[in-house]
Amino acid sequence: MQTFKSSFLQTLQERGFIHQCSDFEGVDALALKGELIAYVGYDCTAASLHIGNLLSIMMLHHLQASGNKPITLMGGGTTRVGDPSGKDETRKLLTVEQINDNKNSIKQVFSKLLTFGDGKTDCIMLDNADWLTKLNYIDMLRDIGRHFSVNRMLSMDSVKLRLERDQEMSFIEFNYMILQAYDFVELARNYGCNLQMGGSDQWGNIINGVDLGRRMKNKEVEAHQLYALTTPLLTTASGAKMGKTASGAVWLNADMFSAYDYWQFWRNTEDADVARFLKLFTLLPMDEIAKLEALQGADINNAKIRLATEATALIHGTDAANQAADTARKTFEQGIVATNLPTFEYPRAEIIGMGVLDAFRITQLCASNGEARRLIAGGGLSVNSVSVTSHTHILSETDIVESFVKLSFGKKKNALLKAI
RNA sequence: GGGGGAGUGUCCCGAGUGGCAAAGGGGGCGGACUGUAAAUCCGCUGGCUACGCCUUCGUAGGUUCGAGUCCUACCUCCCCCA
């Protein structure tokens, strides 16, 4: 454990953000003077960022809060190439249109946690398509390519692992690290950027940028020392990768993952992870987290509720977070029908006489009749909190309580049929 | 260019003798126990108008009462030689 002088590194350290750094002292000195200009790059492979990316956004937030300048870099150019890090197979190449759509869709999240503008510590957003697409192949080989040793590139994890597993690695992907390294130098040159942060899987790519900066400095480019800082890979205490659920990733955009589901995701955190996540994913002061951390047994649930509400508020706003907390309390603790569950309206006459299989399919709780049948056989479906015992059950007048029928899939997924 | 090998249940890995809706894992989901946790145990993990029918083993044909399994061509990938 080292001690840092700057509040930036102190904060990152006590909250558990730090995995590796190329030079702690150098970063500490810059941070102390408020002269850090740090960037994180974001892939545009999906229409939303997910909680894996959230870690680095939080880091940028702490950076800004400590008086330094953050840069968010959209990978409009690099996404056209595809990052091979941590992937077994080549991903399908996205079209330029898809990438642009994704880029626009992703952008909205940053303003929740970062202040943009023209001021000294205001965040700026850039897109590496602006310079990467203008590169000339021969010039690039001469100016940048000569600084890269293929011997070394082959030894990078992102390449080596592919080769060891006999997995295909195309030339386009092989170039990814060069482009990312170039990004760093480009940002250093034009924006004074001096630090790149990212997940631990990005270490190799980031270091390449640092090295490129040094090599070019000796030659033609007026550049300053560049630094690298990475966060640990996020896993749950039981070792599973963070952020994957049955339906896929935990997205940050509300239209892809509702505030309620997002709240639920954090609410279902394992006991052993609560303190760690409070530090990483909320802005609660450390002494308050210490109090929550001290809770034992079933009281840990209070800490989880706090975690869920705080984390949801950061991304979806305080109102949405409180509403999600409220819905959860009614649904789970009081068994009351909360009306902001997913609701599907149908004429009263149609609901009466509707088969349960249809009802669960219509409300999208079950994907097929077969799935509904299986779950009924296993006691997993219920109507108005009463377990359904037969797949031939027909909804009747008595199932409609104050014009609602509450359908539940397991204990955690609910939907309402509303009679109109 | 020559020789050898591989592609299996649309989540992944992986058995598979001509009778196969296809072994076994992992993951996921549901149930029990709990605290909306973890661990553990049990069940499920192609579709349907459902004791029956339809669609699935790289693609397209063929042999056969019957093909994941045999034959032919093609596609993709890997290894060795040049």
Using the structure, give the distance in angstroms from the CA atom of A168 to the C1' atom of B72, rounded to a whole number: 30
CA of A238: nucleotide with nearest C1': B38
Nucleotides of B under 7 A from a protein CB: 27-32, 34-39, 43-50, 77-79
Q: How confident is the model at residue A289 (pLDDT cuts 50, 70, 90)?
A: very high
Label residue A123 by pLDDT band (50, 70, 90).
Answer: very high
pLDDT above 80 (res A284): yes
Strand B neighbours (CB under 7 Å) are A 166, 168, 237-238, 240, 245-246, 264, 267-271, 297-298, 300-301, 304, 328-329, 331-333, 367-371, 373-375, 377-380, 409-413
The chain-wide mean pLDDT, for chain A, equals 86
Percent over 70 (pLDDT), chain A = 89
Amino acid letter for position A329: R
The mean-pLDDT minimum among A329-343, A359-373, A381-395 falls in: A329-343
Inter-residue contact A418 to A403 (CB < 8 Å)? yes
Give whole-number Cα distances, A22 to A28, A173, A195, A300, in Å: 11, 25, 10, 37
Nearest nt by C1' to A379 Cα: B31
The C1' atom of B13 and the CA atom of A319 lie apart, in whole Å, by 44
Q: Does the pLDDT of residue A95 top 60, yes or no? A: yes
User: What are A191's strand-pairing partners?
Assistant: none
Residue A81 burial (CB < 10 Å; 0-12/13-18/19+)?
A: buried
The residue type of A251 is W
The answer to whether residues A74 and A128 touch, using CB atoms and an 8 Å cutoff, is: yes
A419 CA – B56 C1', rounded, Å: 40
With a cut of 0.85, is the ipTM above it?
Answer: no
Q: Which nucleotide is nearest, taking the CA of residue A374 and each C1'?
A: B44
- For residue A196, the surrounding DSSP H or E stretch is strand A195-199
Of all protein residues, which has its CA closest to the C1' atom of B78? Answer: A166
On whether the CB atoms of residues A227 and A194 are closer than 8 A, the answer is yes
Nucleotide nearest to A247 (CA to C1'): B28
pLDDT above 70: residue A222: no
What is the DSSP secondary structure assignment for residue A394, as one 8-state letter? B
Write down the pLDDT at residue A81. Answer: 79
Cβ A122 vs Cβ A116: under 8 Å? yes
Evaluate if residue A246 carries a pLDDT over 50.
no
Sheet holding A227-231, edge to edge: A20-21, A227-231, A195-199, A37-42, A69-74, A124-127
Q: Which nucleotide is nearest to A168 (CA to C1')?
A: B77
CA of A166 to C1' of B6 (A): 13
Half-sphere exposure of A195 (CA within 13 A, CB side): 30
CA of A54 to C1' of B27 (A): 24
Mean pLDDT of A143-162: 81
> What is the per-residue pLDDT across A43-90, written as a single tens digit (0 to 9) for each?
887 788 888 788 899 999 999 999 999 999 999 888 887 776 655 555
C1' of B38 to CA of A290 (Å): 21
Most confidently predicted of A149-153, A174-178, A189-193, A364-368: A189-193
Angle CA A321–A324–A326, to nearest 5: 110
N-terminal to C-terminal alpha carbon distance within chain A: 63
Which nucleotide lies closest to A298 by the C1' atom and the CA atom? B35
Give me the sign of the Cα torsion angle A40, A42, A260, A303: negative
Helix (H, G, I), strand (E, B) or coil at A71: strand
| Nucleotide nearest A297, from its CA to each C1' | B35
- Tell me what pLDDT residue A221 has: 54
